[in-house]
Amino acid sequence: MSVWETGLAMVVYLIACALQGAVGFGANLFAVPLLALINPSLVPVPVLLVSPVLNGLMTWRERGHVEKPILTWTLLGRLPGVALGVVALQAFSGDRLGVLFGVLLLLAVGLKVSGLAPQRSKKLLLGAGGLSGFMAPPVGVGGPPVALTLHDLDGPSFRATMSPYFLIGTSMSVVGLALGGQITGQDFVTALWLAPAVVAGVALSGPLRSRIDAGRVSTSVYVLSAVAAVALLLRSLL
């Protein structure tokens, strides 16, 4: 990767981490399509490798507002989802999976906005965690299914619950990719270059949180999830 590609990738990921620091998710769904355009080697593995750093910082900052039952059920669902995602990554092309996930996300957003989506339950949390885990290894984006399920939480609770979910969940994805032989030494080097952008992005996000907390969590979740769906479809079809 060239110097300008590395610098541009760091700027993109800094903005992405500031976004997640303010909202509670969205870093990879914002960054992955752009990073793929800069250099395909940046995704999905390097962003998954550096994600625990981002989510570790946010888990510490947002501690005290975690919805523990919700966190438990979504993580229980994510574990088998990650295993299926690693298998899918080896068996199918990323483009095919991107189209599938993009369509599913658009349907989920439509159901939420229309009010037809089922109420949050243990089964729904398990399913959202499973789909999130399934999406993460192949395409590097796994947040929207869980975020859509938790969209009605207040800002601090949303961020506090999503952050440890991502911390543990992305660590599961990394372990799954490692066991599947999908991680190279160059992936670790690339992730190290992105790490300073994570720290800077989280620091910059602090003043933005109050704007999101003022009744804008649901709107942010809907918009970011819809953008993620469209980006996955465009990336996979073009």
Give Cβ neighbours of residue 232 (< 8 Å, ≥ 6 apart): 33, 98, 99, 101, 102, 105, 139, 141
The per-residue pLDDT for range 136-160, each reduced to its tens digit, is 888 777 899 999 999 999 999 999 9
∠ CA 58-64-68, nearest 5°, is 90
Residue 136 near residue 169, CB atoms below 8 Å = yes
**Does residue 56 or residue 117 have the better pLDDT?**
56
Per-residue pLDDT, 235:
78
The residue with greater pLDDT, 1 or 8, is 8
Residues 45-72, mean pLDDT to the nearest whole number? 95
Buried b / exposed e along 202-227 (16+ C-beta atoms within 10 A): bebbeeebeebeeeebbebbbebbbb
pLDDT at 188: 95
Per residue in 14-23, pLDDT (tens digit) is 999 999 999 9
pLDDT given at position 214: 60
pLDDT above 90: residue 190: yes
Q: Which two tokens stand for residue 26?
A: 């969205």
Calculate mean pLDDT across residues 172-196. 92
Counts of helices then strands in the chain (DSSP H, E): 11, 0
Say which residue the tokens 């800077």 belong to: 200
**How many whole angstroms separate alpha carbon 10 and alpha carbon 16?**
10
Q: What is the pTM of this model?
A: 0.89
Cβ(41)–Cβ(56) below 8 Å: no
Q: For the chain, what is the mean pLDDT?
A: 90
Q: What confidence score (pLDDT) does residue 215 get?
A: 67
Give the Cβ contact number of residue 236 at 10 Å.
18
Q: What is the pLDDT of residue 90?
A: 84
